[in-house]
Amino acid sequence: MQKIVTFLWFEDSKAEEAVNFYTSIFKNSKIINTVRYGEAGPGPEGAVMSMTFQLEGQEFYALNDNPQFKFNESLSLFVKCDTQEEIDELWGKLSESGMELGPGWIKDKFGLAWQIVPTILGDYINDTDKEKSQRVMHAMMQMNKLDIEKLKLAHEGK
């Protein structure tokens, strides 16, 4: 059992739609539990109050609905990707009806920020050869969706 769980509060009764969207994108994902409002409310009887779900084995909790609280970019979900194909797929799906925020960052249609990052980027940025590291950083800052081949070429000085 996971001790710390990310809690996502969705506005406008979007929790169920968001959970279905996210679990359709990530391969190792599932809905664990759905709790609906009863007669006592505070939402309409039968409407989704909360959902527990997993994305790539990581547990999340989604709750409906308080429009005064909105997601912002100070919190993002960081997704490590091994291939460009994975980056392209996740970028395409998560940015649909959302917006690109900058190098590797997307805000999805629900307002949740994601970082779609190649696993190798950490090694490149932390390279003890500062010239290599800076070339990669410069290349990365020119991108929205990160491109593994371009980052590799920058690291190699090509």
CATH entry, 71-158, from 3.10.180.10, 2.40.50.100, 3.50.50.60, 3.40.50.720: 3.10.180.10
Least Cα distance to 74 among 107, 27, 41 occurs for 107
Instruction: Write down the domain spans for the chain.
Output: 1-69, 71-158
CB–CB of 7/54 below 8 Å?
no
User: pLDDT (tens digit, 0 to 9) for every residue of the chain, 158 residues total?
Assistant: 789 999 999 988 899 999 999 999 999 999 999 999 999 888 889 999 999 999 999 999 999 877 777 888 889 999 999 999 999 999 999 999 999 999 999 999 999 999 999 999 999 999 999 999 999 999 999 999 999 999 999 999 99
CA distance 19 to 23: 6
Cβ(103)–Cβ(143) below 8 Å:
yes
Q: Is the CATH code 3.40.50.720 the one for domain 1-69?
A: no
Rounded to the nearest 5°, which phi and psi values hold at 25? Answer: -90, -45
User: Which runs of consecutive H residues, i.e. helices, occur in the chain?
Assistant: 15-25, 84-95, 121-125, 130-141, 148-156
pLDDT at position 71 is 86
d(C-alpha 106, C-alpha 81), whole Å: 15
